[in-house]
Chain A
Amino acid sequence: MSKGLEVLIIDDEEIVCKRLKPAIEKMGCTVETFLDPVSALRRIDEKEFDVVVTDVRMDEIDGIQVLEHARKKAEHTKVVVITGYAMMALAREAMQKGAFDFISKPFKPDDLRRVILRAAAELGTSLDYEVPAEDPDSK
C-alpha cells in the first residue's frame, strides 16, 4: 500500500468538513479540516499539503486567497476550489490562477474523490481506492 496524500479541507460549513474527512480518509489520505480559513492559512504555512480543497466564498478570506497562499507556499500543492451556483466567473479566475480543478456545489463525495484520484496521479502517487464511474444521470 502506497503512502496516501496530505489533504486539507477548508469550508465554513461544518457538515462538509465532518463528512468529507472520513470520506477522503477512506482513500488512505491524511485529512485535516478547517472551518476557519485564517487558521487554515496558518496551518498551510506550517505544513506542505498535497491537496487543498477550499470553498471559494467564505467570510473573512475567500478561496482565491487560499489558492494564492497555498501556491506560493508550495508549487506542487494541488488546489481544488469548491464553487457555488452562479460563480462561474470565480471558477474561471481560480483556474487562471493555477487551481487544479473546481467542483460545484452541491457535489457527491465521489465527485471529490475522483478529483483527488486525478491529483494523486499527477503527483505520482497511486491511491489504492476505486471510485465507481460517474452516474450519467446525476448531472
Chain B
Amino acid sequence: MTEHTPANHAGGQKELPTALSDHLERTREAEEVKKALLARPRLGLRVQLLLGFLVVFLFAVGIAAAIIVSIYRVEQKVKFLEVVNDYVLEIDQARRYEKNFFLYGTNLNDALEAAYKAKEILEENRQKISRIMGPDQWRRVHENIHGYEGLLEQLAGHDRNKGAVSDSVKKELELKVRKKGQRMVVLAQDLMRKEKRAIEAAIAGSRRIQSYSLVFLLLFMISTAYLISGNIVRSIVRFESYAERIAAGDFTPITPTRRYRDEFTNLGLAINHMMQELQKHEAMLVQAHKMRAIGTLTAGVAHELNNPLNNITITVHMLLEDFDELAREECKGMVEDVVREVDRAKKIVSNLLDFTRESETKLEPLDLDELVRCTLELAANQMKIAGIKAELHATENSPRILGDSQQLIQVFLNLILNAIAASSRGGKIQLLVHPADEPDNLSVKVIDYGTGIPKHIINRIFDPFFTTKEKGKGTGLGLSVSQGIIAKHGGRMLVDSREGQGSAFTVILPITTIT
C-alpha cells in the first residue's frame, strides 16, 4: 500500500511562518488597496451636487441676462418709435397747413415750421433711421423733405410778392408741392411701418429667447441631474455586484475604478475591512470545524494505537522474561516485531497529524481519487470502531482538479463521518469518483445506506448551526463549512436522500488544465 501524504507534508517546520506571512501579505495588500482608494482627489457627493446646481445656476444667469438685454432692446425701439411718431406727426401737420394754405391762403409759415421740425428730427436720428430703412432711403427721404421745404419757401416767396407770379406758375408749384408732400407722407408712413415691424420682430425675438431658454434650461437641468444621479446609481449598481460576489465567497478587495473619491469610497473601505474580518472569521470557522473532526478522529486513533502498543508491551515483557533462554534469532525476531509495531503506531498518528497541521490555503492540481483514498485512511479507525466497510470506486486516470488538499480532505472527511454516523453496525458506505454529468467536472459521491434525511429538513441541512444531533454532539457547521469550501473551489454540493434508505452527497468540482 502506498502511503499518501497530503501535499503540505514538506512544509512541516515552516507552517507557522508561512501562515503568518500569508496573513501579513493579506494585510499589506489591504493597506495598498486602501492607499490607492484614498490617493485620488476627493469629490464628495455634496460637492458634486453643488457643482451641478452651480452650473445650472450660471446657465440661468445667462438666460436672465439675455432676456434683460432683449427687453432693453425692445424698450429702446419703443422709445424710438415715439421719435418716429413725432416725425410723422410733424409731416402730417405740415401737410395740413399746406392744405389750409391752398384752400384759404393761410398757415404757410406753420407748414414750413413743421417741415423744418420734421427735417430736424430726420437729421438728428439719421443713424437710427438709416438703420431701419437703409442710408439710401434716408437720403431719399431727406432729399424729398428738403425739396418740399424748398417748394414751400418758393411759395412763401411768391406769396410775399403778390401778383408777381402768374396763376399758371402758381398752379404748377402747387402741384409740385402736393406731389412732394404726398411722397413725404408715404415715406414717413413707410418708416413708421418698418419701425413697427422692427419692434414686433424684437418682441417676438425676446419671446423666442424666453421660451427657448426655458426649454434649454429644462434640458440642461435634466442632463445635470442625469449626470449626477448617474454617478450615484452607477456606484450603487457597482456595490450591488460587489455584494453579490462577496456573498458567493469572493473576498477580493474593492479597488479604485474612478478618478476621484467620494462617500462611496468610504463605503468601499468599510466593505474591504468587513471582508478582511469575514475572511478571518471564516478561517476560524473552518478551523473550528476541523478541530471538531480531529476530536472525533482522535478517539479512534487513541483506540487504534492500543493495538501496536499492546503488541509492543507483550513482546518486550516476554523478551525481558525469556531473554536468557531465547535463541538469538528469536530475540531478533521479537525486536523486529517491536520495530514493525512502532512503525504501525507512527502511521496511525501521522495521517491525523498531517491533517491537524494548520497551514495556509494552497491551491494545486490534485488527484481526486487519491485525495478520497487519503481521507478514507484517515477515517479508517472510525470505520473499524463503528464496524463499517467502505468501498471506493474511481475512474482511472481522471483529470485533476485545482484545490487545497487539506480543505478538500476536510470536506470528504465530514461526509464520510456523517455517513458512518448514519449507518448501523455492519453497514457499508460507498465512495464514487467519476466524471460529473456536466463536462469538465468531476464528482465525488459519498453514499450510505443508513437512516436517511427526512424530507422536511433536507432543505436546511446546509444551513449553518442546523443539526439533528443531540445538544453538545454536533455544531451544525459541518455541511455549511463544507459547502463554503466547495463553493470557494468553484464547485457545488448536492444531496439526495430517502428516509430509511440512505443518503448520497455529491461534490462537484471543476477540472483543471494546470499540471
Chain A residues packing against B (C-beta within 8 Å): 13, 15-16, 19-20, 22-23, 57, 59, 84-87, 105-110
Q: Specify which of B309, B317, B337, B385 is in contact with A105 (CB 8 Å cutoff).
A: B309
B321 near A86: Cβ-Cβ < 8 Å: no
The closest CB in chain A to the CB of B315 belongs to A19
Number of A-B contacts (CB under 8 A): 57
- Which stretch, B22-30, B233-241, B300-308, B463-471, touches the partner chain A? B300-308
A107 touches B310 (CB 8 A): yes
Measured between alpha carbons, how far is A16 from B311 in the docked complex, in Å? 6
Please tell me if B318 contacts chain A, counting CB pairs below 8 Å.
yes
Q: List 6 A-B contacts (CB under 8 A).
A: A15-B337, A15-B341, A19-B314, A57-B385, A85-B302, A106-B306
Contacts A19-B318, A109-B317 given; indicate if A86 touches B303 (C-beta within 8 A). yes
Q: Could you tell me the distance in whole angstroms from the C-beta of B137 to the nearest C-beta in chain A? A: 125
Given contacts A22-B318, A87-B303, A109-B321, contact A15 B311 (CB under 8 A): yes
Interface centre among B311, B321, B334, B337 (most CB of A within 10 A): B311
A139 vs B81: C-alpha distance when bound (angstroms): 130
A20 surroundings in chain B (CB, below 8 A)? 314
In the bound complex, do residue A15 and residue B315 qualify as a contact, i.e. CB atoms below 8 Å apart?
Answer: yes
Residues of A contacting B307 with CB < 8 Å?
13, 84, 105
B303, B306, B387: most-surrounded residue (chain A CB, <10 A): B306
Q: How far is the CB of A86 from chain B (nearest CB, A)?
A: 6
Taking each of A22, A23, A59, A108, which has the highest tally of chain B beta carbons within 10 Å of its own beta carbon?
A108
Residues A109 and B303 in contact, CB atoms below 8 Å apart: no
When chains A and B are docked, how far (Å) is the Cα of A19 from the Cα of B338?
12
How far is it, in angstroms, between the C-alpha of A84 and the C-alpha of B312 when the chains are bound?
Answer: 15
Chain B residues, CB < 8 A from A23? 314, 318, 321
Query: How many angstroms between the C-alpha atoms of A23 and B322 in the bound complex?
Result: 9
User: Given that A85-B302, A85-B303 are known contacts, is A107 also in contact with B313, CB under 8 Å in the complex?
Assistant: yes
Task: State whether B313 touches A13 (Cβ < 8 A).
Answer: no
Chain B residues with Cβ under 8 A from A110's Cβ? 317
Q: How far is the CB of A104 from chain B (nearest CB, A)?
A: 8
Partner of A85, one of B306, B314, B317, B387: B306
Known: A15-B314, A84-B303, A108-B314. 14 other contacts (CB 8 A): A19-B311, A19-B315, A19-B318, A23-B321, A57-B385, A59-B387, A85-B303, A105-B309, A105-B310, A106-B312, A106-B313, A107-B310, A107-B314, A108-B317
Give the residue name and chain of the A residue nearest to B300 (CB): A86
CB of A109 within 8 A of CB of B302, answer no
Q: Which residues of B contact A (CB under 8 A)?
A: 299, 302-303, 305-307, 309-315, 317-318, 321-322, 334, 337, 341, 384-385, 387
Chain B residue at minimal CB-CB distance from A84? B306
Interface majority SS (helix, strand, loop, mixed), chain A: loop
Nearest-CB distance from B174 to chain A (Å)? 149
Instruction: Give the residues in chain A near B341, CB-CB below 8 Å.
Output: 15
Chain B nearest CB, measured from A103 CB (Å): 10
The interface residues of chain B lying within 8 Å CB-to-CB of A16 are 310-311, 314
Q: From residue B422, how far is it (CB to closest CB) to chain A in Å?
A: 21
Residues of A within 8 A of B318 (CB): 19, 22-23, 109
- Please, which residues of chain A bring their CB within 8 A of the CB of B322? 22
A106 to B313, CA, bound (A): 7
Contact status of A86 and B312, CB under 8 A, knowing A15-B341, A105-B306: no
Pick the 4 closest A-B CB pairs, nearest first: A106-B310, A15-B311, A105-B306, A105-B310
Chain A CB within 10 A, most for which of B309, B314, B321, B385 = B314
Contacts of A59 in B (CB 8 A): 387
How long is the Cα–Cα vector from A105 to B310 in the complex, in angstroms?
6
CA of A85 to CA of B311, assembled, Å: 15
Q: Find chain B residues with CB under 8 A from A86 CB.
A: 299, 302-303
Contacts of B334 in A (CB 8 A): 19
Instruction: State in angstroms the CA–CA spacing of A110 and B313 once bound together.
Output: 11
- Least CB distance from A40 to B in Å reads 18
In the bound complex, residues from chain B placing their C-beta under 8 Å from that of A109 are 314, 317-318, 321
Given A15-B341, A23-B318, decide whether A108 and B306 contact each other with a Cβ distance below 8 A.
no
CB distance from B320 to the nearest CB of A (A): 10
C-alpha spacing A67/B50, complex, angstroms? 92
Give the one of A19, A108, A109, A110 with max B CB within 10 A. A19
Once bound together, how far apart are the Cα atoms of A110 and B317, in whole Å?
A: 9
B305 / chain A contacts, CB cutoff of 8 Å: 85
Q: Complex formed: what's the CA distance from A22 to B322 in Å? A: 10
- How far is A23 from B321 in the complex, measured between Cα atoms in Å? 9
Q: Which residues of A contact B310 (CB under 8 A)?
A: 13, 16, 105-107
- Residue of B at shortest CB range from A138? B313
Residues from chain A with a CB closer than 8 A to the CB of B387 are: 59
Q: Smallest distance from the beta carbon of B302 to chain A beta carbons, Å?
A: 5
CA distance A129 to B305 in the complex (A): 32
Residues of B within 8 A of A85 (CB): 302-303, 305-306
CB distance from B469 to the nearest CB of A (A): 19
Closest to A82 in B: B310
Complex contacts, B306 vs chain A, CB 8 Å: 84-85, 105-106
A99 to chain B, nearest CB (A): 19
CA separation between A59 and B388, bound complex, in Å? 9
- How many angstroms between the C-alpha atoms of A84 and B305 in the bound complex? 9
CA A106 to CA B338, docked complex, whole Å: 14
A16 to B312, CA, bound (A): 9
**Residues of chain A within 8 A of B315, CB atoms compared:** 15, 19
Nearest-Cβ distance from residue A73 to partner chain B, whole angstroms: 24
Identity of the chain B residue whose Cβ is nearest the Cβ of A104 in the assembled complex: B306
What distance in Å separates the Cβ of B231 from its nearest Cβ neighbour in chain A? 66
Contact residues in B for A108 (Cβ distance below 8 Å): 313-314, 317
Residues of B with C-beta under 8 A to A84 = 303, 306-307
- Across-interface contacts of B317 in A (CB, < 8 A): 108-110
Cα–Cα, bound, A86→B306 (Å): 11
